[in-house]
Amino acid sequence: DIQMTQSPSSLSASVGDRVTITCQASQDISNFLNWYQQKPGKAPKLLIYDASHLETGVPSRFSGSGSGTDFSFSISSLQPEDIATYYCQQDTTFGGGTKVEIK
C-alpha cells in the first residue's frame, strides 16, 4: 500500500501570510493527488484534484503543485475563513492532516 506523509501536522500563521503544506507519497503516484478542506464540525470538501486543478468555486488563493512523490498545497494569503484541517489523498489513502490556525 502507498503511504502518504503530510506535514506539518499543525501550523499557526497570521492573516495575509502564505501557508504551505507538503504531502509525500511512498512511491510514484504521477499527479493522482487531491486536497480536501475540513472546517470544524463539517464534512471534508474537495478543493484541488490532480495535484493542481482547483474545483469550481474554490478561491484562487488556494493552489497545489507537484508530481511523482512530492506535492505541496498553498494558501497565498491566509484568511480567517480558511481555518480548517487540510488533507491530501491518493486512491483510498488520506494523509494525516494539517490543522491551520490563526496566530
Partner 1 sequence: EVQLVESGGGLVQPGGSLRLSCAVSGFSVSANYMSWVRQAPGKGLEWVSVIYTGGTTFYADSVKGRFTISRDNSKNTVFLQMDSLRVADTAVYYCVRERTVRGDIRFDPWGQGTLVTVSS
Report residue 38 as a C-alpha cell.
475540513
Contact positions with partner 1 (CB under 8 A) in 35-94? 36, 42-46, 49-50, 55, 87, 89-94
* Contact between residue 69 and residue 18 where contact means Cβ atoms under 8 Å apart: no
Measured distance CA(91)–CA(30) in Å, rounded: 12
| Nearer Cβ to partner 1 (20/44) | 44
The least distance separating partner 1 from the CB of residue 33, rounded to whole angstroms, comes to 8
Residue 70 grid coordinates:
512530492
Cell of 78: 491566509
Contact track, partner 1, 1-40, x by CB under 8 A: -----------------------------xxx-x-x----
Q: CA torsion 73→76→81→87, rounded to 10°?
A: 0
The residues binding partner 1 (CB under 8 A) are 30-32, 34, 36, 42-46, 49-50, 55, 87, 89-97
